[in-house]
Chain A
Amino acid sequence: MTNTLQPASAAALPLLGLFQRLIDRGAALGGRDYLDGLRALEAGYGGCDPVRLRRLAEILWARTEEDHRTIAQWFAAITPLPESALTDLNQQLRQLEDRPRPQQQGAQLMPSAPGAPAPAAANPGGADAATPQDDPATPRVRLAIAPASTGQGLGLPRLEANPPLLGTYGLQPRPLLQMRQLALLWRRLRRNQRLGVKQELDLQASLRARCELGVLLRPVLRPCRRNTAKLLILADASPSMAPWQPFLKVLEASLAHGRLGDAALSWFVNVPGTSLQVSQHELLRRFAGGAVLVLSDGGSARGLQSRRRVRRTKAFLDTAANWGMQVVWINPMPAKRWIGSSAAQIEREGPVLMLPLNEENLARAVDHLRGAS
């Protein structure tokens, strides 16, 4: 009895190598997706023509640009299938299993005997089908981060070698968190109150009225529950926060899906509350009693320390507390970079709960803002 997931027999499963590569590159595919691929092949879709096979793989498994690129690279590493290869697929698969792993991409793609069909092309699903990235002869690019001592600013990424331009690279900016994750996070901020027009059936009151009067003239209605929770996000627009601008944009867009009573994102430079759009008083009045999430590096990105900044930030935090606001500070820099910068002083003297930016800490921040911790 053989295990189909073992490499030897994996080669006999069509497109398994590609499927595994897609998963390795982060595609959210499951076993059922692969089985669907087998069912489609069984039904005659894709055939053994690489062009049709590639199209089938794209239809079933590609949903992002990266998926399409992975599939294109995988098929580009395969030589076209000779027509004669289709006649004896199983025999070729056995040859492929017996053959040692080739050293070079060209040799790997050549048929084992002159005139014989290319086995890798007949079964591109072979888990060991190579691509340019697997070839040890291909120069690899390493991305290095210049060393930065604690609190001494942001390291600049530098390439140690020129990248080999083997294909087109479409670099897609990715938010740290998807909008959906953020929206679900905001939905945990709830302060439900019955407000507005009476439009919801009050079953208990209706039954009570029926029992008391003996007849129900009309159903008793009550206002719907509404979330009255307020969330103000104060985002730092300083140049040191530029790398997190795409995330802040997603953050801003996600507020509309948070089902909050009132939510807004207001930009400031260096000191929260010094809004670029509206006066501090207006902001405080609108979000009195609500939650405030500050997103700023507090000088830690560049390792700066400013007593004036700390003093003014503390003044804002005190004012916010007077308006009944809960404040949490999210710092996109790791905690060890706060040391020696204004951020550490703000955290200590504010005092304010300051957390490094990640999904877990955002959930913790929301818990704190809703009074759960």
Chain B
Amino acid sequence: MADPSPYKSFAAEAATDYVTTPEVAEIVNLAIHLSRPLLVEGEAGCGKTRLAYAIAAVLGLGDVVAATVKSTSQAKDLLYRFDALRRLQDAQDPNNEKGPYVYPYIHLQPLGKAIASGKPCLVLIDEIDKADIDFPNDLLDVLDRYEFEIDDLPDEESALCADDPTKGFGRVVKAKTGDVKPIVVITSNREKPLPEPFLRRCLYIQLTFPTDPALLEKIVHSNLSRSGEQIQDSLIHHAVREFLAVRNRSEEFGLQKPPSTSELVDWVRALHWQQRDETNVCASELRPADHAILLKLQRDLESWKRPRDSEAPG
């Protein structure tokens, strides 16, 4: 008999402002059921981060505990932080009672807090590929056992720290029996390859750009409804088809960063603000403003313009 999951099931159709497929929803549910991290990859702007927020919204988990990874990030930064400088400053004050101890200066960070709390929540580790190649492997053990050790906390202060109502954790931080493990969603733009053991540990979703115009229209509608904007269906319908033409030509020209769903939504908004309609929106006659929204790299822009020049009559 399977243990009842503390989380609800993620249904694709239940996401109000995010369009996804039943296949993606199945992988999400598997990851939740097996307590395995979910690695989401896909081209920039295809909705990787938004998927995490959609899961949290559908499952009623409240705010997403987000940690954005930087090139200098270490796995430890997601777990805890030791404020050594503040401790040094406090240690100068003979009246400060905290100074001689280390534990007041240990602060749990997003993943550490989520593990220690033992309550249902979603932790988003965004753009893991920005970090050093050691980062994912250092996280592997933590994501496997949902447990970690605070190296900076001396053993003799572990009990003190656990008894402190503002801290409540010891040198070894782990969920208590019966506690809930957090849902961990990790996104990557694949700028760096991730180590195989890490890939094996995660369940994997590759978000691809949808080529079905109806699905794209649904995505646009879903995004616009979130911001409460009212845009004519006919404009969205036409823009989506022209956008697909732009996308096809992008692949034909070998553009490094073809426009994705986020660019499509921005473009539809821009077309609405510019009060343009079906008659003056055409993939083969993009305006400079369209270029600015759809083509993000100078190299891609030059590549896009080059064949257009040669197509000129005469």
Chain A: residues with CB nearer than 8 A to chain B?
A: 28-29, 33, 36, 39-40, 42-45, 55-56, 59-60, 63, 178-180, 183, 201, 203, 206, 210, 215-216, 219, 257
Contacts and interface: CB of A to CB of B under 8 A. Distances in A.
B92 interface: yes
A63 B30 contact: no
Given A42-B2, A59-B204, 4 more contacts: A43-B33, A179-B193, A203-B84, A257-B132
Nearest to A36: B34
B96 to A, nearest CB: 13
B26 A45 contact: yes
A300 B57 CA distance: 64
Contacts of B195: 180
Given A63-B199, A180-B133, A216-B92, A40 B34 contact: yes
A59 B28 CA distance: 10
Contacts of B133: 179-180, 183, 257
- State the main secondary structure of chain B at its contact with A: helix
Contact of B92 (A36, A63, A178, A215): A215
Contact of B196 (A28, A36, A39): A28
Given A39-B2, A39-B34, A42-B2, A201 B85 contact: yes
Interface string B25-63: 011011001101000000000000000000000000000
A212 to B, nearest CB: 13
A44 B9 CA distance: 13
B308 interface: no
Contacts of A56: 30
A179 to B, nearest CB: 7
24 contacts: A28-B196, A28-B200, A29-B200, A40-B34, A43-B33, A44-B2, A45-B30, A45-B33, A55-B23, A55-B26, A59-B203, A59-B204, A60-B30, A63-B199, A63-B204, A178-B196, A180-B133, A180-B195, A183-B133, A201-B84, A201-B85, A203-B84, A206-B88, A219-B85
A40 B30 contact: yes
Nearest to B34: A36
B197 interface: yes
B2 A210 contact: no
A206 B30 CA distance: 53
List 6 A-B pairs, minimum CB-CB distance, nearest first: A43-B2, A63-B199, A36-B34, A42-B2, A216-B92, A43-B33
Nearest to B205: A59
A210 B92 contact: yes
A59 B205 CA distance: 9
Interface in B74-121: 84-85, 88, 92
A216 B36 CA distance: 49
Contacts of A59: 26-27, 30, 203-204
Contacts of B30: 40, 45, 56, 59-60
Contact of A219 (B23, B34, B88): B88
Contacts of A42: 1-2
Contacts of A55: 23, 26
Interface in B113-163: 132-133
Nearest to B33: A43
A52 to B, nearest CB: 9
Interface string B161-201: 00000000000000000000000000000000101110110
B43 to A, nearest CB: 19
Nearest to B197: A28
Nearest to B5: A43
A40 B33 contact: yes
A117 to B, nearest CB: 26
Contacts of B26: 45, 55, 59
Nearest to B36: A36
Nearest to A29: B200
B149 to A, nearest CB: 21
A168 B92 CA distance: 71
Contacts of B204: 59, 63
A60 B204 CA distance: 8
Nearest to A215: B92
Nearest to A210: B92
A36 B203 CA distance: 11
Contacts of A257: 132-133
B33 A39 contact: yes
A7 B259 CA distance: 53
Contacts of A45: 26, 29-30, 33
Nearest to A35: B34
A203 B84 CA distance: 9
B164 to A, nearest CB: 24
Contact of B88 (A43, A60, A63, A203): A203
A282 B308 CA distance: 44
B222 to A, nearest CB: 25
B200 A33 contact: yes
Contacts of B197: 28
A337 to B, nearest CB: 32
Contacts of B23: 55
Contacts of A216: 88, 92
A42 B4 CA distance: 12
Nearest to A259: B132
B92 A60 contact: no
A201 B85 CA distance: 8
Nearest to A39: B34
